[in-house]
Amino acid sequence: TMAPAQLVFLICFVSGEMVQKTHLRMSSLLNQDIGFLSAHVGDKVTLQCSHEGDDVAWICWYMQTLGQKPKLISSSFLYGTEVTFYDEFKNNVHYIPDRKEQTHYLTILNLKMSDSATYYCAISYKQIVKFVNGTTVSVKGSGSNIQASIHQLESETVQAGDSVTLNCTVQIGSCDEEHEVYWFRNIEESQPGLIYTHGYRKDQCMRNPNTTSKICVHNLSMKNLNESHTGTYYCAVASCGHVVFGNGTMLNLSCDMTKFLVYFLAGSSTTLLLVLLIAFGYKLSKKYYQTAVEIMSQRQRSSKETECFYSSISQNK
């Protein structure tokens, strides 16, 4: 027999493939507060998920830690009051789902470092499933072996077309486990996207002779920057069963005034030269026209005088 958790996981997760095959549609609209939430150990956070429409049967909450598969936290019927928890989340008062009309909440109490993850809300009806981008929660504070003091510059301003290298300095505590580094980019009204990941390298770290900790420096290099590169870049470190996020570095693009002035002056000079050529050409053509008119007038007068001269001679004869 299939376990309840496997059954709901099948309903809420795998059935997305069946949607593509049958081309069914669900009219409900699902919205979740997306983005990046930062909190401290011991705090609480409340995630919100709302939907429009009546064709929803299941509401499911998922948790995905960096580098791991999504874990099903809970599921509930849309108009029911009973909530079912699964696996490690059973009998755990740490997570509290709630509902008010068509808005669903997941409150996480007494935050721990291990709560750093991305949380997804999903709705399911008739084997159709909808996921949203989710909300990434970063929990900061002491109490972990990683003791990751992640230092990032608050902001970087560069010019379009230039290159930049973002730095992430990590101080690892007494934990000797190798760590992995992830880089995220966050844009307004968008889910932070994982853009790069790399594992531990000894040549990037050095031991602090005065303590048991070690300091590691990780870089993210980008070339030929344009508007699509702007945003806030977060460095995240996963080690000793915990994930720690840095405060983020905001990358901005500035306008190169020197290049702008060069292009502006070049364009202005070209325009001015074109205007002068047109004016000179007009003046020259006008002069040639007047000269041609004068020559034609002189020829006409000369022709009349010749006619008069021959006429006079004829009469004298």
Q: For residue 97, which of 146, 133, 63, 55 has the smallest C-alpha distance?
A: 63
Predicted TM-score of the model (pTM) = 0.56
What confidence score (pLDDT) does residue 4 get? Answer: 46
Judge whether residue 96 has pLDDT over 70: yes
What confidence score (pLDDT) does residue 7 get? Answer: 43
Helices (H), 185-256: none
What confidence score (pLDDT) does residue 8 get? Answer: 45
The DSSP symbol for 176 reads: -
Instruction: Determine the Cα–Cα distance for residues 138 and 66; give it in Å rounded to an integer.
Output: 11
Judge whether residue 128 has pLDDT over 60: yes
Judge whether residue 53 has pLDDT over 50: yes
Of 15-19, 76-80, 215-219, 302-306, give the lowest mean pLDDT range: 15-19
Over the range 300-309, which residues count as b (16 or more CB within 10 Å of their CB) and which as e?
A: eeeeeeeeee
Of 7-11, 53-57, 255-259, 269-273, give the lowest mean pLDDT range: 7-11
The whole-chain average pLDDT of the chain stands at 72
What confidence score (pLDDT) does residue 220 get? Answer: 85
Q: Pick 200 or 26 by higher pLDDT.
A: 200
Q: For residue 118, which of 168, 184, 50, 181 has the smallest C-alpha distance?
A: 184
- Mean pLDDT, rounded, for 60-69: 84
Q: Pick 55 or 114 by higher pLDDT.
A: 114
Q: Is 167 buried (19+), middle (13-18) or exposed (0-12) by CB count in 10 A?
A: middle
Q: Which tokens in the block code for residue 92?
A: 């755990």
